[in-house]
Amino acid sequence: MNYFLFAFVLAGFSAYAQPAFQVVPLGVKGGVDESNLSAYALAASGTQDYVCLDAGTLHTGIRAAIKKKVWKGDATAFLRKHVKGYLISHPHYDHANGLITNSPDDSAKYIYGIESCLSVLKEKHFSWKSWANFGNEGEAPTLNKYTYQTLVPGKEVPLHNTPLFVTPFVLSHVSPTESTAFLVRSGDSYLLYLGDTGCDRLEKSDKLMQLWTAIAPLIQTKKLKAVFIEVSFANEQPDNSLFGHLTPNLLKEELSVLEKLTGAGQLKNLNVVITHMKPLGNREETIRKQIASGNTLSVNFIFPQQGKALTF
Amino acid sequence: MNYFLFAFVLAGFSAYAQPAFQVVPLGVKGGVDESNLSAYALAASGTQDYVCLDAGTLHTGIRAAIKKKVWKGDATAFLRKHVKGYLISHPHYDHANGLITNSPDDSAKYIYGIESCLSVLKEKHFSWKSWANFGNEGEAPTLNKYTYQTLVPGKEVPLHNTPLFVTPFVLSHVSPTESTAFLVRSGDSYLLYLGDTGCDRLEKSDKLMQLWTAIAPLIQTKKLKAVFIEVSFANEQPDNSLFGHLTPNLLKEELSVLEKLTGAGQLKNLNVVITHMKPLGNREETIRKQIASGNTLSVNFIFPQQGKALTF
């Protein structure tokens, strides 16, 4: 093997082995525990320019990552310097508490969301009556620390001050509440994060079908590196008490729909990160067992931990 | 000493030594750290029937108290069984996050506040757009888990399912935002908790003067067992960046006003619990030093810790 061929093979191997994304979970739970609510810091590999996918818990999560030596320094300083924007899937507090709580000491950055989400942030969260208006829109006076950028479903836009791009998709979280899935791109690699969502059958919706149809080609071409999706309740939760959430069985029902679109066997080893388990008694342990049981699609299920980095 | 005299002396000593209140801080900070925001569980001594003075962090604080063996069992079960109501000083999120986050798994209970506070909880917090409406008023449908009880300034009312009573006083937290001080009574003993407040001089207000005038007789008669009051910033904070908060110097300025009303030396050994320090760099340590320095009134300053019980 001559030198050039050797270098070429090395470069090819390197490109294959190199992960495209780093994700640091800042909060992984779907309720109750104020110190650990949905928030995932995402960066293109090799950069320290993160966006947060939801912002339920920020400070406590950054502290956890520093304790685990994933990051270093002071938590507030890290947030100010390295988190370049927030993508909020929907405005429920367990996805926005950290953003609100940290806003007085945060630096100027962007908040991304679909129109129905941003309008609630402006009307309810940063409303002066409930909290100072750190945004650039909503009730006057606006403090203009945060710049809202309205995302249009299906349309890709760049995420400022990062090499990343995002395409939003609308999800159904008990009509009329809309939630959002964010398809994030880095170069030719993709990562999909879903906010809270019910399954199409029970939501009487085709939103997940639309999303699965859009991403199926990315699975077939191995460009989709991971899917973050919620499983809030265990299988025992009655259908009429799901409040727009998934169970292990409902997740598998939706993954089967996706597999039909991609072709048999195409979901094998797909990284599926389980988010938003709602703590109550031993429910989280039950969900873990129910997810692992009967994994006929051979998906690679991952249970994230606060402050522990994942690469894809 | 005959038996009856001995028993009488013992009983008298016991009555003197017996604290009137137990307070378990569930969260002690004034921002940034989602796991440790203002919330103080208060019970009459000898009971396990608590009310929460503000509700910034609940679950994480209860877990901390269980870890310290102050309480036992499961945090959510404890909240459901032993916390009988919430007294919310004002509706800013750092005082309400825990209430919102825990509401889906909470039991039925009361939320107490002055009208301006409760109206924001109904309009902004439990509004369906931002969170399900677990209250008994506000946007339909009301889930009726929480019953709002509007407090009238200066008027004492009982706190349901506890032996406690409360009298609210309005505070100024940058006009037009009202905050509240809660004067809680157990038998003939009192404890005063202030929500966020600026000093009268800078707020151009007489609200603290009114409060000090009301409680001065309780200090003179030694019935007031403790004052919980905020010091959010260090002395270096410019007056125009206080956002309706106190510094060590401004606290001492207000305590001097109070001492003039009670008479010289009357504040000696008064328990003053410092709440709501806003973390940033080494600010908390600076505040502690500034509070301790030049304590000419010989007040007993206390710095609460999450999950560590205090008795008064």
Say what the pLDDT of residue B5 is.
52
CB atoms under 10 Å from CB of A243, counted, come to: 16
CA distance A234 to A276: 12
A281 vs B contacts (CB less than 8 Å): 74
Contact between B62 and B71 under an 8 Å Cβ cutoff? The reply is yes
Q: Considering only alpha carbons, which residue of chain A is nearest residue B76?
A: A280
Chain B touched by A83 (CB under 8 Å): no
Chain A touched by B34 (CB under 8 Å): yes
As a whole-number percent, the residues of chain A with pLDDT over 70 amount to: 95
Name the minimum distance, in Å, from the CA of A282 to any CA of chain B: 11
State whether A31 and B105 contact (CB < 8 Å): yes
B window 131-190, beta carbon within 8 A of A? 131-132
Chain B touched by A90 (CB under 8 Å): no
A189-242 residue pLDDT tens:
999 999 999 999 999 999 999 999 999 999 999 999 999 999 999 999 999 999
Say what the pLDDT of residue B1 is.
46
pLDDT tens for the 312 residues of chain B, in order:
455 555 544 444 444 568 999 999 999 999 999 999 999 999 999 999 999 999 999 999 999 999 999 999 999 999 999 999 999 999 999 999 999 999 999 999 999 999 999 999 999 999 999 999 999 999 999 999 999 999 999 999 999 999 999 999 999 999 899 999 999 999 999 999 999 999 999 999 999 999 999 999 999 999 999 999 999 999 999 999 999 999 999 999 999 999 999 999 999 999 999 999 999 999 999 999 999 999 999 999 999 999 999 999
Q: Considering only alpha carbons, which residue of chain B is nearest residue A73?
A: B281
Name the minimum distance, in Å, from the CA of B72 to any CA of chain A: 15
A233-257 residue pLDDT tens:
999 999 999 999 999 999 999 999 9
Say what the pLDDT of residue B4 is.
52
Asked whether residue A23 carries a pLDDT value surpassing 60, the answer given is: yes
Mutation site, A28, A29, A32, A74, interface B, largest B CB count within 10 A: A32
Is the Cα torsion angle B250, B256, B261, B266 positive or negative in sign?
positive
CB atoms under 10 Å from CB of B301, counted, come to: 16
Contact between B20 and B187 under an 8 Å Cβ cutoff? The reply is yes
Q: Give the strand pairing for A109-114 and A310-311.
A: unpaired
A1-20 residue pLDDT tens:
455 555 544 444 444 568 99
Residues 6 or more apart in contact with residue A237 via CB below 8 angstroms: A245, A247
Which helix (H) or strand (E) element contains residue A185? strand A178-186
What was the ipTM of the complex prediction?
0.93
Q: Considering only alpha carbons, which residue of chain B is nearest residue A35?
A: B35
CA distance B222 to B220: 6
Taken in order of first residue, the domains within chain B and their CATH numbers are: 20-311 (3.60.15.10)
A89-147 residue pLDDT tens:
999 999 999 999 999 999 999 999 999 999 999 999 999 999 999 999 999 999 999 99
Chain A touched by B73 (CB under 8 Å): no
A24-67 residue pLDDT tens:
999 999 999 999 999 999 999 999 999 999 999 999 999 999 99
Confidence of residue A81 (pLDDT cuts 50, 70, 90): very high
Chain A touched by B265 (CB under 8 Å): no
Q: Considering only alpha carbons, which residue of chain A is nearest residue B30?
A: A101
Say what the pLDDT of residue A26 is.
98
Say what the pLDDT of residue A310 is.
98
Counting one residue from A and one from B, how many pairs have CB atoms under 8 Å apart? 108
